[in-house]
Each structure stands twice: as C-alpha cells, then as structure tokens.
Structure 1
Amino acid sequence: MATRITPLRLEAFEQLPKHARRCVYWEVDPDIVGSGDSLSDPEFEKEAWLSMVMLEWGSCGQLVVECRDTSDDEPPAFSDDDPCLGYVFYAPPRSVPRAVRFPTGPVSADAVLLTTLGIEAGQNSDELSHALIGAVVADLVRRGVRALEAFGRTDRVGELAHRDSVPPDCRPVTDALGDCSVEQCVLDSDLLLDAGFVVVSHHSYFPRLRLELEQGLGWKAGVEAALERLLESAQLQQPVGAGAGCV
C-alpha cells in the first residue's frame, strides 16, 4: 500500500476521519457551553478553530494518506479524495483552551503543544504514530521552534471511572464535550515516552512531557527508521495535490 504524509490544508477537512472532524476536546472550553453538554455543530467549531490557527500561526496538522494504485509503470497517484489513515494536531498553547485545565500545566513558553493523534483501525499504529510525530518535528524544526510538549494519560486513568469521586485537579480534564473522552483525545504517555519525550511535570494520571528540538532532525533514530520504511522518498512538506509521488 502506498502512503505519504502531508500537512493538513483546510480544503482537506472532509478528508479527516469522522471523530477528528467532530472532536473539540482541546479546541472548546467546556465552561463556555456547560460541562457535559453537546455542541450543535462540532464540525463547524473544529473547522473554525483550524482556520483560525492556520491563519494566525500556520500549519497545525499532518495526515497520513493512502494513494491510489496505478499501473506498474506509473508512480502512485494521490488526490484530495485519498483515504486518511492517521492524523495529528499541534498548536501554540495559547490557541488551545483545554491546555490551561490540566494539573501539570502550563505548557512552557518556548514550546508548541501536541494535542491529538489518531490512527485508523487496521493500520500499523506504532509506525504511523512515530512517522506523524516525526513529520511534526520536521515542521517545527524548520520553523525554529525549540520544543514540543504534550499532556499524557497514564495507564492509571482507568481508575478514575471506578472511584467514588474524581480528584479535584482531574475534573477539569475529564469534563468532555459530545463524543470526546480522555481515553480517546489525550495522548498515551507510553507512546510519547517511546517517541523520545521526557516527563517534566509528574502526575499520577496526566503528566506533562517534553521533547527538545534543538538537535534538529537527528531527533531519534527509531523515528527516522520508521519514516524510511513507511515513506522512503516521500516529501513530507508538500501538500496533497502538489504533484509529488507517493511511496
């Protein structure tokens, strides 16, 4: 199967999987609409948020897309209709309302916040996840960003559902909108640790982790190997439809 990673463009919003289009866990503060309430049009809210961040800051997402098969003597083709196999979002913390609700905040002033990463069922989750994080790193290094941070969830998060009461410092995190949930919308701490992040603010449930980008694209040998296996000669920075081939 031919795949490639490409920066998300607003024109490709409909290309995102359903949950990615409707998830506003990070983008909308529950206090504004009422905890546990649902938005009348979460897709509109998500698209509006993406538009705002792209206009004010620039690229804030990466996609793994599957390219269409062609004949043996032609390179794989791709278009804006190609299936999305995975996605990742990131943005300055000032643009992410949920960031201030985590007990291990705030995000460092020199860092961009990695918010959500999703891989479609049936795909190689580890390889695609590391490749997407690698694409984020490549983008941010090129833009001169010093660090990438993320709030993680530990394997103890499941305990919260069985407790008589959620700890006060966790309630702002577990408040969700629509079909969002901590388990689906907050990154797994183990995934982040495997990708080279280190814990900079400890917490039983929601630590904050950081990846220094000063080393540039020599970031992590394992990620480079995953990118090579998955994409080979893919041009990570070229948008869908710009004419580069897939691998």
Structure 2
Amino acid sequence: MGRRLIPLTLDNLSDLPERCRRCVFWELDPVRGEAAIHAGSAELEKEAWISAVLLEWGSCGRVVYVDEAPVGFVLYAPPAYVPRASAFPTSPVSADAVQLMTAWIDPAHQGQGLGRVMVQTMAKDVLRRGFRAIEAFGSVRRTEPVCVLPAGHLLAVGFKTVRPHPHYPRLRLELRTTFSWKEDVELALDRLLGRKEPILRPL
C-alpha cells in the first residue's frame, strides 16, 4: 500500500470531501460565514482563504493519499488566520502555537496508522516554522455538529487542557513530546480523525 502526505494547495483542494470544501466554519467569522452560506459562495470563500494563507504563510494542511486516492486531510494555521477562533469562550490560542482547525480520515482507512502519521507530519511542519505547540478547541458534547474535534479524543493523543470550559475547552500539545508517542495512540488518533464529515452550523 503506497501512501503519501501532500501539502494542501489550490491544486489539490478538490481532493477534500465536497462538504468540507464548502465548509468555512473556521475560515470566516460567524456573520461572514452565514452570509457566504446563504449566498452560495462558501466554496469560493474557502479557495480565497487558502490562497491568502498560501501567499502569506504557506500550506495550511496536508492531504493523505493511499494508492493515489485521497483518504483524509488535516487543516491548521496560526490563530491570526482563523477568524472563528475569537468566537470561542476559551480563546485566544497562545502566540507560540498553531491552531489545529479540523481533520478527517475516511472510515474505510482507519486502523492503518494514518492518523498518527498525519499528526506527526503536521507537528514536524509546525516545528520547522518556529512554533512550539499545537492548540485546538475541543468539544465535550456527545454530538458536535460543527468542525470541532472531540476534547476526549484530543486528550487521548497527548493534548492537555490549558483553559477548561463546560463545552469548549482549549487544549495544547507540546511538540517536544510528539515524537515520543507510542503505538497505543494510533487507535485514539483514528477515532479522532475518522469521524463523519462535519455539518456547518453557527457556534
């Protein structure tokens, strides 16, 4: 089985699931996000956001391919590029961290270690750019209809809560610990990344 992790660009944006290409939950503030959805311009807004981040910061994600077929992705960026983050009660993300926005792996490819490889690839990229940590807003709700990763799954793969909240705690992964992960986190990562595609709703 051949697998590759390729930086996300406009050239391979079409390899993301269609629903994710139209999702601008993180990329726009709540008002602009709702307006884009109602106007039917969310996919164009997504392309514009990725283009701007590419020009100013570089690739903001990785797409996972198995035998040339796209099977997953991870999206991340410095908090200055993530307008929705400011709407969370546990914001802001720390200045020395990149925000893990969202991620997904096709359920048919869970259990193959792709989640672990994807997160470690992201961590290497973030370290190379001079950041010390990855932070994410987690959800403690049983069903989360937006692009927010479950807090329990983030905790299971090494994130620690840095600002608690009854619904949306902010969690942090110190990158110096990333490369000492053991094989037993692989299943937790697959659970984290193998969820159903998110449905966009306002926070």
TM-score over 0.5 for the alignment? yes
Find the aligned partners of 1:55 and 1:141 in 2 and give their Cα distance: 20
Aligned length: 186
Structure 2 partner of 1:198: 160
Asked if 1 retains the 8 angstrom alpha-carbon contact of 2:98 and 2:131, the reply is: yes
Asked if 1 retains the 8 angstrom alpha-carbon contact of 2:24 and 2:33, the reply is: no
Find the aligned partners of 1:44 and 1:100 in 2 and give their Cα distance: 22
Q: Secondary structure at the match of 2:138?
A: strand
Per-residue deviation, residues 23-45 of structure 1 (Å, max 9, x unmatched):
11101112236579534221111
Structure 1 partner of 2:83: 97
1:220 aligns with 2:181: yes
Structure number having the greater strand percentage: 2
Q: CA RMSD in A?
A: 2.3
Give 1:112's match in structure 2, choosing from 98, 110, 127. 98
Asked if 2 retains the 8 angstrom alpha-carbon contact of 1:53 and 1:95, the reply is: yes
Q: Secondary structure at the match of 1:183?
A: coil
Seen in structure 2, the aligned counterparts of structure 1 residues 142 and 34 have a Cα distance that, compared at 3 Å, is closer
Find the aligned partners of 2:133 and 2:102 in 1 and give their Cα distance: 17
Find the aligned partners of 1:55 and 1:36 in 2 and give their Cα distance: 22
With normalisation by structure 2, the TM-score equals 0.82
Structure 2 partner of 1:127: 113
Per-residue deviation, residues 15-73 of structure 1 (Å, max 9, x unmatched):
22112211111011122365795342211111111111111011210111022xxxxxx
With normalisation by structure 1, the TM-score equals 0.68
Deviation at 1:97, TM superposition (A): 0.8
Q: Secondary structure at the match of 2:183?
A: helix
Identity, % of aligned positions: 44
Structure 2 unaligned spans of 5+: 187-203
1:199 maps to a residue whose letter is T
Structure 2 partner of 1:55: 55
Find the aligned partners of 1:5 and 1:89 in 2 and give their Cα distance: 13
Find the aligned partners of 1:86 and 1:114 in 2 and give their Cα distance: 15
Structure 2 partner of 1:20: 20
Q: Secondary structure at the match of 1:25?
A: coil
Asked if 1 retains the 8 angstrom alpha-carbon contact of 2:25 and 2:33, the reply is: no
Structure 1 partner of 2:173: 211
Per-residue deviation, residues 135-158 of structure 1 (Å, max 9, x unmatched):
11011112221111000011x354
Seen in structure 2, the aligned counterparts of structure 1 residues 23 and 126 have a Cα distance that, compared at 3 Å, is farther
Q: More deviation in 47-56 or 37-46? A: 37-46
Structure 2 partner of 1:149: 135
1:58 maps to a residue whose letter is G
Q: Runs (4+) of structure 1 moved beyond 6 Å?
A: none
Asked if 2 retains the 8 angstrom alpha-carbon contact of 1:64 and 1:87, the reply is: yes
Find the aligned partners of 1:126 and 1:104 in 2 and give their Cα distance: 33
Q: More deviation in 6-15 or 199-208? A: 6-15
Find the aligned partners of 1:218 and 1:43 in 2 and give their Cα distance: 35
Find the aligned partners of 1:126 and 1:201 in 2 and give their Cα distance: 32
Seen in structure 2, the aligned counterparts of structure 1 residues 30 and 125 have a Cα distance that, compared at 3 Å, is farther
Does 1 or 2 have the higher relative contact order (CA < 8 Å, sep 6+)? 1
